[in-house]
Structure 1
């Protein structure tokens, strides 16, 4: 059985991405990444996460990995802090959606009650 962590480390070292940037993309801290490099039996879900971040299909090295279609083309979930005005706008947007759904639900209930009469 190949050492999964070593294969992952070689793939990372071949790229121009820094460990810090990789840590941000996979949402692990740097220490966790270095522990993954030492892990002989790294979980497939972790390898898939690195695969997506590095845009590297590890199914060549690990044929047991499932095929997830265009996993490598999907954007990573990148989070950033919102400004206060952005957060307030987003809160208003969700509030409006919630109110709209409540009104639709209320209308549906009224329609059901009216049909039962």
Structure 2
């Protein structure tokens, strides 16, 4: 049986993963700019190769993070349904969970567009 405490934990997990996703996206932007700058300046091929490896590792983290977010979101939705069916609809936890679900769905919609 799902409790409000479990719902709160799953909500906070989703929020943490969203922060991670944004962090990785910013890192990819930063590393892309650094790589482009190094190419423009004609950096040493070894250094450029190392920077490209850093960039590719950063890029790999974004899909992984998205996958974890999708799993956490479906888990949160299932827990919210359980909590509502058990009659615990009142409380800030359910409202917070709903708003988190809406925010995450917007993130997925904006990335698909």
TM-score, normalised to structure 1, is 0.30
Q: Which has the higher contact order (CA 8 A, sep 6+)?
A: 2
Higher-helix-fraction structure: 2
Higher CA-based Rg:
1
